[in-house]
């Protein structure tokens, strides 16, 4: 019998191992009567009978008569299977068979290969569970031996599931260990057994392990243990095969769990999980969920396929709303062949966000906030406890008023200072020079998304003789087109010609205007207009950097190689003095924005940056790295960024101790002789920690502790950046601990830290109307009434908190905080970059940089529409979102809800669900625009009134 010899080989190497254990067992066997007497005291009669029966069966297996084997094994199997016991104790048969296990192992090796031997191996596999600490992975080994002994094509001796849930879980755990030992060479246990460890490894191939894994996973899925099944297949690196074994009852739970895991997985596993969940959703025709995952993957082909998959025109419209919210380039959806017809008009309307402005204004009416708010309504300065009661119109105060008015009345298009102002008394003329530019640009914010009315309002200022007003009007044109696409392409038509203008303000405004208007559109025609300015060495650093930034906005997350190579070329060719200007950081940011969410896609660029010697390369490297992993919660990236923060850079290389007083002057002189090392990169590393960890709750909570440490022990440049990082981690989400921390920092001795903390308070509360925060800001206005810079920022923060009168959010995550908007991240980063050196940008002539936030601004509403896309009021419950992934049954997804009629406003951490089943929503998450369809099976309940 050739097969017999094959399995007889392991015997010699196996035997000594057993003999080591045998002496104890033999003594046990020898002491049988006493042993029985000892345990006999607490054995009941049936237990004793069971024990004797088991021992008799084992004796039978040792006898030479082979005909008795089969019935004996069958009986053993039945006894083990039918023994039920509470989950806390070992089943009786396993307990009584435990001492005999080593003898049975030796016996097993002497048998020739046969059906009986396969059954014997199966039983040993179950017994091995009681020996898992001394002989690791015995269960798995005998399971594999048993399946290898089966007759080919015959039915298996037994399914793993037939031995019960505990056995399958045990097997699953051992499969993972065994796989790691074989694939990665991680030997988990190599205790004092010399040279005998390889024996168990020889059974079965990796494919056998995976096949067994699939059997176990199938069992686990049928028994409501979806997370265990996913984990098992992930350990065996075949998670993509779960698609084959899910059915309509289990797929949603499997996908929920997989999507929840993504933030906790290292790349490339996170992408494989996304792709697997996506294919499951497609297979089960859950198009909105599938599209949401395609957007996260940023894969144009998947997005096009998902968008074109459903036949139902209403479902397509719903998907179009989702794509519009994510600012997905429309070109990705264009049909591949020329022959296919263009997208229909109604879909284009949804995709272009054409009706956003109208719906937003109606939403304002519903909430009763359409009336314009004056500055006094926001400041409530009668509640401030300042001693001075001067009403002098200071230029600084008016400039702050410009921004407050713009942010508070954003999108409503009816503010009193700009849009509705009488001829000649416009607020613009209450500002000086560069203030006029921001004032004119604030028109764009006030008329946000309203492309028709907006352009006619802005138009009259484009003919102004005052250069700053004209520049502001160009910026306004860009701002009001943000997030909305028009067929007319008005922004390009109006701004394109100014990009080559001689005047610097007009040129930069036109560039930034284009960048904002076409953020995230990946438009190739804009590349030709803007790229030459990046590469042109004759233009100033300001123009080149802002052109790079505008391209970063337009091609956000595209990984565009042309832009990258141009910027890298500029870094290499420009002379060091130019790269040291404050503008260089914007060129680096423009480069980084192209790689938002690309993960490893930025490796080549990073390698090039490491070869450039100038300090700007270090800043760019950190920016590119952190943008590539934005919102992924990747722990390794956070650790790398923390390492950058712990370098203590000695700013002045010359004798610092001698003259502390004249440090400033000394520093200036030294730059001529020997340059101090540049430490701006540390500020970006701090913001990077926030950027990477903001995607998931655990990571962002942990980052708060790191920031706390850095604040205590960090260098000044790090301390300045920490409030900004806090503002980014929790944008538009005012959590009390963060507010308290920022409140503490806003009274810091270092005014730069205080300034950034105040601005961060504005970010954290943006569009929330948070009363507690407004109270803090009013106190700060009193505290800093003599510090014009800080007061200016306090005012802006007050404007941000009331943004859109509490209806607009700047949080970059949407769709139940599942998808990160790349354009929003770009806007937030550009604004924070301006605050890394507030004195040089925001507090100087470049306060218009606050308008970068516009790409992140979006209404936080839920509007339900009928099939004709008209608003349809229904009752919904709104409450705090609860994480229910992996919980048994159907737990409530929201807690502490209130019932409203749509349209309703949703907070950052809130979730809505329909109160009745009268309508079926097309979207999987109720936020933004949701199309409803009447539920045909719904009947109004008869009310029982007593």
- Reported as a pLDDT band with limits 50, 70 and 90, residue 265 is confident
Task: Compute φ and ψ for 259, nearest 5 degrees.
Answer: -65, -35
Alpha-carbon torsion, ordered 67, 69, 72, 75, to 10 deg? -100
Of residues 690 and 95, the one with the higher pLDDT is: 690
Of residues 22 and 362, the one with the higher pLDDT is: 362
Among 123-127, 671-675, 912-916, where is mean pLDDT lowest?
A: 671-675
Quick one: tokens of 196?
């005998």
In the prediction, which pLDDT does 4 show? 44
Quick one: tokens of 881?
């979102």
pLDDT at 34 over 50: no
Mean pLDDT of 482-501: 87
Nearest to 767 by CA among 834, 856, 695, 693: 856
Contacts of 773 (CB under 8 A, 6+ apart): 734, 739, 761, 764, 765, 801
Please, are residues 597 and 855 in contact by the beta-carbon 8 Å criterion? no
DSSP for 765-801?
TTTS--HHHHHHHHHHHHHTTT-HHHHHHHHHHHHHH
d(CA 944, CA 946): 6
Mean pLDDT of 711-721: 92
pLDDT at 282 over 90: yes
Query: What is the chain's mean pLDDT, rounded?
Result: 84
d(CA 729, CA 803): 19
Mean pLDDT of 278-303: 93
pLDDT at 41 over 60: no
In the prediction, which pLDDT does 674 show? 45
865: helix, strand or coil? strand
- Reported as a pLDDT band with limits 50, 70 and 90, residue 361 is very high
- Reported as a pLDDT band with limits 50, 70 and 90, residue 31 is very low
Among 103-112, 154-163, 306-315, 748-757, where is mean pLDDT lowest?
A: 154-163
Mean pLDDT of 1-24: 42
- Reported as a pLDDT band with limits 50, 70 and 90, residue 11 is very low
- For residue range 266-280, list pLDDT tens digits in order: 888 889 999 999 999
In the prediction, which pLDDT does 811 show? 94
Report yes or no on whether pTM surpasses 0.85: yes
Percentage of residues in the chain with pLDDT exceeding 90? 46
pLDDT at 944 over 70: no
pLDDT at 574 over 50: yes
DSSP for 108-129?
HHHSPSSHHHHHHHHHHHHHGG
Mean pLDDT of 452-476: 89
Alpha-carbon torsion, ordered 313, 315, 318, 319, to 10 deg? -100
The total number of residues written for the chain in this structure: 946
- For residue range 816-859, list pLDDT tens digits in order: 888 999 999 999 999 999 999 999 999 888 999 999 999 999 99
Nearest to 855 by CA among 425, 512, 399, 350: 512
In the prediction, which pLDDT does 33 show? 43
- For residue range 209-242, list pLDDT tens digits in order: 899 999 999 999 999 889 999 999 999 989 999 9
In the prediction, which pLDDT does 40 show? 44
Half-sphere exposure of 374 (CA within 13 A, CB side): 5
296: helix, strand or coil? helix
Task: Compute φ and ψ for 821, nearest 5 degrees.
Answer: -80, 120
H/E segment holding residue 266: none
d(CA 219, CA 275): 23
In the prediction, which pLDDT does 5 show? 43
DSSP for 76-109?
HHHHHHH----TTS--HHHHHHGGGHHHHHHHHH
Tokens 């051992």 sit on residue: 174
Mean pLDDT of 775-802: 92
In the prediction, which pLDDT does 494 show? 87
Quick one: tokens of 418?
């700009």
In the prediction, which pLDDT does 28 show? 42
Nearest to 726 by CA among 832, 650, 598: 832
In the prediction, which pLDDT does 129 show? 85
In the prediction, which pLDDT does 600 show? 87
d(CA 828, CA 834): 10
Task: Compute φ and ψ for 918, nearest 5 degrees.
Answer: -65, -30
Domain ranges of the chain: 861-934
- Reported as a pLDDT band with limits 50, 70 and 90, residue 610 is very high
Instruction: Give Cα 671 to chain centroid, integer Å.
Output: 42
Using CB atoms within 10 Å of the CB of residue 673, give its burial: 0 to 12 exposed, 13 to 18 middle, 19+ buried.
exposed
pLDDT at 652 over 90: no
Among 331-345, 437-451, 884-898, where is mean pLDDT lowest?
A: 331-345
- Reported as a pLDDT band with limits 50, 70 and 90, residue 395 is confident
Please, are residues 185 and 245 in contact by the beta-carbon 8 Å criterion? no
d(CA 522, CA 555): 5
State the maximum Cα–Cα separation within the chain, in Å, rounded to a whole number. Answer: 114
Contacts of 238 (CB under 8 A, 6+ apart): 210, 213, 214
Please, are residues 77 and 122 in contact by the beta-carbon 8 Å criterion? yes
d(CA 385, CA 785): 10
Percentage of residues in the chain with pLDDT exceeding 70? 87
- Reported as a pLDDT band with limits 50, 70 and 90, residue 264 is confident
In the prediction, which pLDDT does 419 show? 80
d(CA 929, CA 824): 19
Contacts of 278 (CB under 8 A, 6+ apart): 290, 293, 294, 297, 302
Among 175-189, 502-516, 552-566, 813-827, where is mean pLDDT lowest?
A: 175-189
Give 601-605's long-range contacts (Cβ < 8 A, gap of 24+). 601/559, 601/628, 602/559, 602/627, 602/628, 605/564, 605/568
Please, are residues 560 and 595 in contact by the beta-carbon 8 Å criterion? no
Alpha carbon distances (Å) from 565 to 486, 518, 531, 537, 561: 31, 22, 11, 15, 6
pLDDT at 45 over 60: yes
900: helix, strand or coil? strand
Nearest to 406 by CA among 448, 365, 366: 448
Mean pLDDT of 630-646: 91
- Reported as a pLDDT band with limits 50, 70 and 90, residue 114 is confident
d(CA 337, CA 348): 19
- For residue range 725-759, list pLDDT tens digits in order: 999 999 999 999 999 999 999 999 999 999 999 99
pLDDT at 800 over 90: yes
d(CA 543, CA 934): 55
pLDDT at 195 over 50: no
Q: How many helical (H) and strand (E) elements, i.e. helices and strands, does the chain have?
A: 44, 11
């Amino acid at each position: 019998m050739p097969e017999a010899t094959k399995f007889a080989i392991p015997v010699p190497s196996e035997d000594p191992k057993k003999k080591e254990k045998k002496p104890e067992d033999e003594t046990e066997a020898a002491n049988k009567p006493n042993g029985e007497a000892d345990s006999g005291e607490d054995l009941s009669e049936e237990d004793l009978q069971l024990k004797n029966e088991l021992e008799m069966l084992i004796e039978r297996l040792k006898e030479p008569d082979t005909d008795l084997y089969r019935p004996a094994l069958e009986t053993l199997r039945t006894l083990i299977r039918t023994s039920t016991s509470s989950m806390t104790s070992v089943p009786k048969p396993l307990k009584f068979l435990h001492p005999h296990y080593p003898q049975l192992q030796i016996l097993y090796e002497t048998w020739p290969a046969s059906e009986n031997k396969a059954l014997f191996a199966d039983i040993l596999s179950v017994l091995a569970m009681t020996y898992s600490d001394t002989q690791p992975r015995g269960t798995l080994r005998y399971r594999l031996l048993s399946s290898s002994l089966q007759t080919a094509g015959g039915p298996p001796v037994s399914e793993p599931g037939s031995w019960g849930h505990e056995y399958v879980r045990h097997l699953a755990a051992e499969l993972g260990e065994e796989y790691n030992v074989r694939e990665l060479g991680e030997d988990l246990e190599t205790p004092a057994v010399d040279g005998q460890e390889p024996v168990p490894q020889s059974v079965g191939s990796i494919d056998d392990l995976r096949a067994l894994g699939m059997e176990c996973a199938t069992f686990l899925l049928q028994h409501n243990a979806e997370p265990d099944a996913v984990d098992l297949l992930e350990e065996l690196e075949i998670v993509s095969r779960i698609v084959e074994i899910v059915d309509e009852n289990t797929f949603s739970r499997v996908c929920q769990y997989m999507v929840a895991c993504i933030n906790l997985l290292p790349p490339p596993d996170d992408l494989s999980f996304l792709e697997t969940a996506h294919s499951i959703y497609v297979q089960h025709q859950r198009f909105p969920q599938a599209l949401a995952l395609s957007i996260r993957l940023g894969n144009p082909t998947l997005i096009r396929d998902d968008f074109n998959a459903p036949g139902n025109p209403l479902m397509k419209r719903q998907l179009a709303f989702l794509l519009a919210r994510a600012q997905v380039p429309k070109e990705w959806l264009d049909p591949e062949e020329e022959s296919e017809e263009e997208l229909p008009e109604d879909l284009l309307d949804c995709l272009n966000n054409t009706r956003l402005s109208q719906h937003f204004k109606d939403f304002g009416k519903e909430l009763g906030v359409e009336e314009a708010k004056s500055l006094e309504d926001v400041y409530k300065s009668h509640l401030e406890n300042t001693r001075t009661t001067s009403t002098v119109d200071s230029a600084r105060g008016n400039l702050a008023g410009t921004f407050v008015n713009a942010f508070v009345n954003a999108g409503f298009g009816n503010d009193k200072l700009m849009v509705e102002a009488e001829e000649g008394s416009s607020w613009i003329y209450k500002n000086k020079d560069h203030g006029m530019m921001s004032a004119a640009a604030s028109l764009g914010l006030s008329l946000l998304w309203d492309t028709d009315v907006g352009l006619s309002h802005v138009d009259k200022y484009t003919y102004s003789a005052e250069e700053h007003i004209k520049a502001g009007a160009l910026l306004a044109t860009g701002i009001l087109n943000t997030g909305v696409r028009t067929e007319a392409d008005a922004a390009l038509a109006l701004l394109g010609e100014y990009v080559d203008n001689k005047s610097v303000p007009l040129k930069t405004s036109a560039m930034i205007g284009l960048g904002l208007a076409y953020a995230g559109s990946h438009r190739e025609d804009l590349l030709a207009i803007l790229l030459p300015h990046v590469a042109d060495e004759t233009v100033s650093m300001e123009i080149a950097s802002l052109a790079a930034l505008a391209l970063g906005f337009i091609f956000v997350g595209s990984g565009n190689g042309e832009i990258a190579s141009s910027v890298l070329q500029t870094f290499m060719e420009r002379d060091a003095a130019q790269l040291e200007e404050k503008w260089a950081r914007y060129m680096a940011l423009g480069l980084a924005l192209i790689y938002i969410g690309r993960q490893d896609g930025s490796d080549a660029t990073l390698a090039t940056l490491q070869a450039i010697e100038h300090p700007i390369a270090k800043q760019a490297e950190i920016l590119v790295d952190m943008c590539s992993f934005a919102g992924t919660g990747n722990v390794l990236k956070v650790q790398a960024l923390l390492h950058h923060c712990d370098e203590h850079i000695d700013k002045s290389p010359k004798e610092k101790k001698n003259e502390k007083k004249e440090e400033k002057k000394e520093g200036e002189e030294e730059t001529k002789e020997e340059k101090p090392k540049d430490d701006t990169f540390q500020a970006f590393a701090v913001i990077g920690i926030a950027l990477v960890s903001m995607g998931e709750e655990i990571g962002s909570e942990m980052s708060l502790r790191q920031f706390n440490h850095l604040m205590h022990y960090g260098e000044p440049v790090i301390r300045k950046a920490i409030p900004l990082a806090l503002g980014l981690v929790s944008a538009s989400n005012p959590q009390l601990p963060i507010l308290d921390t920022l409140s503490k920092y806003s009274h810091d001795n270092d005014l730069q830290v205080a300034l950034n903390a105040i601005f961060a308070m504005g970010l954290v509360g943006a569009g929330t109307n948070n009363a507690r925060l407004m109270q803090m800001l009013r106190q700060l206005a009193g505290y800093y009434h003599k510090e014009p810079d800080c007061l200016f920022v306090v005012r802006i923060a007050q404007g941000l908190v009331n943004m859109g009168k509490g209806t607009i959010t700047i949080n970059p995550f949407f769709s139940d905080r599942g998808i990160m908007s790349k354009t929003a991240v770009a806007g937030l980063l550009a604004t924070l970059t301006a605050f890394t050196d507030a004195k040089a940008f925001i507090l100087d002539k470049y306060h218009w940089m606050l308008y970068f936030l516009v790409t992140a601004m979006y209404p936080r509403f839920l509007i339900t529409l009928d099939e004709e896309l008209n608003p349809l009021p229904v009752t919904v419950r709104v409450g705090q979102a609860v994480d229910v992934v992996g919980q048994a049954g159907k737990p409530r997804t929201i807690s502490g809800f209130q019932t409203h009629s749509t349209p309703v406003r949703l907070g950052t951490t809130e979730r809505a669900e329909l109160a009745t089943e009268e309508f079926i929503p097309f979207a999987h998450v109720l936020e933004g625009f949701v199309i409803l369809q009447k539920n045909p099976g719904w009947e109004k309940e008869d009310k029982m009134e007593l």
